Structure 1
Amino acid sequence: MQTILSDELLERIRHRAAGYDARNEFFTEDLEELAQVGYLGLFSPEKLGGLNLGLEEVAQLQMRLAAAAPATALGINMHLVWTGVARAFSDRGDTSLDWLLAEAAAGEIFAFGISEAGNDSVLFDSDTVATPTPGGYRFTGTKIFTSLSPAWTRLGIFGRDNSDPENPKLVYGFITRETSGYTISDDWNPLGMRATQSRSTVLDNVFVPADRIIRILPVGPSADLLPFAIFANFELLLASVYAGLGDRALRLAVETVTTRRSKKTGEVYANDPNIRWRIASAAIEQAAVRPQILASARDVDALADHGPAWFPLFVGPKIRATETARRVVDAAIRVSGGGSYRNDAELTRLYRDVVAGLFHPSDDESAHGTFADAYLGPITS
């Protein structure tokens, strides 16, 4: 891992993170340096110019990157989701997305234009209209949380084709930066994860040629490889970001309490039994996160067949990582004193960044529904 993300590179990335956050600015320099070490082609085979890593290895890299700069890791995650999807296809004998792996290794940046306001069906339905037209489809709708907005060169989108009302379809495809008809909104002023610049993208009759339409699926849950591959990479890489964030918060807490002294006793706070208990509790929770993520990622790489049990294996690590990270950051702030309340303190930034984990799919309610169905079966009348 250190041959790709060296300590020196991570220190430069960590040093820039506060400025990106304060200025609500994209992580341009981070992206340039990550591209130079081959990060865009992590999943791409060596024969295509990539580093030929699997999901388990990429998840570990994302944990390491997120410990330096969570917003940078979350932003580049969206590129890694698409390239991870393409790698999952290739590993399972479907070469239809090998072009994506080649373009990523060559420096193209892929973004994730899937999310829509109020669409809790996520991948299983869309409010964006996909209209069949000679030579392809035209898409009209609004995508939210489009990370990498200032930098992407390829944007994956999907919409609903209602041309046959009795048999509506979901259409997935890619546009390029040069495609006409889209507008990137200047609407990004969030609480945290500011450097991702995940602005809204408005699609107005945007044309996607047939050779960049990657899937046409029925509305609703599907056993197709695409939803599987998106869920696998999105959930596990997302969990990896918050695992890294939690690791960093815990480390900051330890550094603080081992140097900060009580005026009353003269002892370092690391000797206070209440603080030791709080740090230990956070560490116990945090220790369970990484193994769960990596076990699921390892099974994806190994082409394991868990059937319908796959989805709890993807959703569970995401919920554990995001919820644990929130509790660990809270514990870190509690033991670090009033200095952590400064707006320019790293823990304060982590406190704001970690809140974003609440909003990424799958949310808490959806995850509990997934597990309830897995263990109890569907609700019966």
Structure 2
Amino acid sequence: MTITESPARQDIVRRATELVDLVRGHAAWMEENRLLHPEVLEAVDGAGLLKLRVPVRYGGYESDMATVVDVIAELSRGDGSLGWVFNAWMNGCWLAGLLPDEAQDDIYPDMGGVGIGLSVSPTGVAVPARGGVVLNGKWAFCSGILHGGWFAHSAVLAHEDGAREPITVLVRASELTVVDDWHTAGLRATGSVTTLAEDLFVPDRRVIRMVPLLTAGEHRSRLNAGSPVWRAPFSPAASAVGSAPALGVARAAWDLFFERLPGRKITFTRYERQEEAPLTHLQVAEAAMKIDESAFHVHRVAERVDAKTLAGEGWSTEERAVSRMDMGAATQLAKEAVDVLKTASGGSSIYSHVPIQRIERDVLAINLHGVLHPNTNLELYGRVRCGLEPNTDLI
């Protein structure tokens, strides 16, 4: 079975769209409680959306990247935190598919209606042990850890000869100590708390060595080797998935601006109807243009991943850098669109019951993420276009 045999893209995206109102109804509760509402998690699972990056043999869809980013954007239109966690889940589920098949037998049937969380910062250290590694470390920004049974952590493998090697390990969430420190200005409902591991043994079948994966696209699964989903390089695939939450949040700002527009006036002017003011026309046009441009970058990177993996083509350094640039540009343009719409929303928009103030904080938090940060990604692309080597291994 190939990715083209999964449920139709329109059907899967429609399922996500149908959840938007439910998600918005719980958004305030989720922000206050700093985690996703159980009804939201149940609805996402019930819609089959967690199957997008799960192998077919476990009942998954192996959906193409274009479908995945559209679903993430729609869930983010409901709430930015949900879209962000779902983005992490999609990366985590994908990474699990790179493991040996016997490890996948442990993980995929044990997902329990939630996804596999992911943290990309290698702030842990693993040392070789018989049959695996022993992991110690502390990781911040653990998106999805409060809502899943498994988590993918990045670490450095310290060999006896002093060599250091980047790895990712899949561990049970219950094996990690949670530090409840997620008190933030944005993306509060992601519950992206800090976690600790102390002398945690991880069997070799749940360890991915990142250099072969990043440089040659190698992985350890025999049964997934022929699937286009797992032929994609890590960084372009992660760039596609990571670019979608900001787009969805910007579309939410658009929706909510127009919900409040009828009957509003512009205070201290003679405009009794805001929609009649030329300034509003300019603001709406600017926001629409930026949202469309953000969508262009999201879909370009997703469609390139799909096309190149289906064709079995390799990736040049410049193509990889373009993927990172697309992610940064999509994120930046979405923030700029939200800025315009928030400015046009007036003083009453600062009240906590008006959603656009939460949307503004969420899109700012997305823009500040180390991997998505527009400045970082634009600089990387510019370096490569100037003939220099990338200043990162994550490409």
Scaled by the length of structure 2, the TM-score of the pair is 0.82
1:295 equivalent in structure 2? 300
Number of residue equivalences: 363
Of 3-12 and 49-58, deviating more is: 3-12
Partner AA of 1:230 in structure 2: F
2:131 alignment partner AA: G
Cα distance change on mapping 1:365 and 1:291 into 2, 3 Å: closer
Give me the identity figure in percent: 21
| Contact 1:55/1:84 (<8 A) preserved | no
Where in structure 2 are the equivalents of 1:21-60 lying within 5 Å?
Answer: 21-60=31-70
CA distance in 1, matches of 2:210, 2:248: 35
Given that 1:130 and 1:160 are in contact with CA atoms closer than 8 Å, whether structure 2 keeps it comes out as yes
Q: 1:24 to 1:260 in 2, by over 3 A?
A: same
Q: Helix, strand or coil for the counterpart of 1:187?
A: coil
Decide whether aligned partners of structure 1 residues 262 and 168 sit closer, same or farther in structure 2, where only a CA change above 3 A counts: closer
Query: What do residues 111-131 of structure 1 show as CA deviations (whole Å, max 9, x unaligned)?
Result: 11332xxxxxxxxxx442111
- State the partner residue of 2:94: 84
Q: 1:139 aligns with which of 117, 135, 138?
A: 135
Q: Is the 8 A contact 1:257 1:335 kept in 2?
A: no
The answer as to whether partners of 1:239 and 1:318 remain within 8 angstroms in 2 is yes
1:351 aligns with 2:345: no
Q: CA deviation at 1:97?
A: 7.5
Q: Aligned ranges for residues 133-282 of structure 1 at < 5 Å?
A: 133-165=129-161, 167-179=163-175, 182-215=176-209, 217=211, 222-225=215-218, 229-262=233-266, 264-265=269-270, 267-282=272-287
CA RMSD of aligned residues (A): 2.9
Kept in 2: contact 1:131–1:139 (CA 8 A): yes
Cα distance in 1 for partners of 2:59, 2:87 equals 20
Shift of 1:326: 1.8
Change (3 A) 1:209 1:84: closer
- Counterpart selection for 1:321 from 299, 310, 330: 330
Note closer, same or farther for the CA distance 1:51–1:100 as it changes in structure 2 (3 Å cut).
farther
Q: Distance in 2 between matches of 1:55 and 1:101?
A: 22
Show the counterpart of 2:77: 67
Alignment of 1:350-369 (within 5 A): 350-360=359-369, 361-369=371-379
Range with greater deviation from structure 2 (342-351 or 357-366):
357-366
> 2-side partners of 1:222 and 1:267: how far apart?
60
Deviations 1:110-153 (CA, angstroms, capped at 9, x unpaired): 111332xxxxxxxxxx4421111111101111111001222221
Instruction: Quote how far apart the aligned CAs of 1:98 are.
Output: 5.6
Query: 3-state SS of the aligned residue for 2:44?
Result: helix
Local SS of the residue matching 2:183: coil
What residue number does 2:316 align with?
307
Change (3 A) 1:266 1:178: closer
Distance in 2 of aligned mates of 1:36 and 1:221: 34
Are 2:117 and 1:111 equivalent residues in the alignment?
Answer: yes
Query: Any gaps of 5 or more consecutive residues in structure 2?
Result: 1-9, 220-230, 390-395
Aligned to 2:384: 374
Match of 1:147, SS?
A: coil
For 2:103 and 2:306, locate their aligned partners in 1 and report how far apart those are by CA, in whole Å. Answer: 17
- In the TM superposition, what whole-angstrom CA distance separates every residue of 1:57-93 from its partner, at most 9, and x where no partner exists? 0100111111111111111211111223456x69xxx
Counterpart AA for 1:212: R
Report what 2:20 is aligned to.
10
The 1:310–1:225 alpha-carbon spacing in structure 2 relative to 1, beyond 3 Å, is farther
Q: Distance in 2 between matches of 1:142 and 1:243?
A: 31
Give, in angstroms, the shift of residue 283 of structure 1: 1.1
In the TM superposition, what is the alpha-carbon distance from 1:375 to its structure 2 partner?
0.7
Provide closer, same or farther for how the CA distance between residues 108 and 21 of structure 1 changes in structure 2, counting only shifts above 3 A.
closer
Would the aligned equivalents of 2:103 and 2:205 in 1 still touch at CA under 8 Å?
Answer: no
Q: Distance in 2 between matches of 1:105 and 1:9?
A: 21
Deviations 1:7-43 (A, max 9, x none): 5432111100111112333333211211111121112
Helix, strand or coil: the match of 1:150? Answer: helix
SS class of match (1:172): strand
Is the partner of 2:146 in helix, strand or coil? coil
Distance in 2 (alpha carbons) for counterparts of 1:199 and 1:339: 32
Change in CA separation of 1:110 and 1:221 when aligned onto 2, cut-off 3 Å: closer
What does the per-residue CA deviation read over 1:355-380, in whole Å, with 9 as the maximum and x for residues that have no partner?
A: 1123221423421331122210227x
Deviation at residue 208 of structure 1 after TM alignment: 0.4
State the alpha-carbon separation in 2 of the partners of residues 110 and 50 from structure 1. Answer: 14
Tell me the CA shift for residue 336 of structure 1: 1.5
How far off its partner does 1:262 sit? Answer: 4.6
- Tell whether the 8 Å contact from 1:162 to 1:169 is kept in structure 2 after alignment: yes
String of CA shifts for 1:162-183, please: whole Å, max 9, x gaps: 224453222322111343xx31
Go from structure 1 to structure 2 and tell me whether the alpha carbon gap of 1:233 and 1:105 turns closer, same or farther (over 3 Å shift).
farther
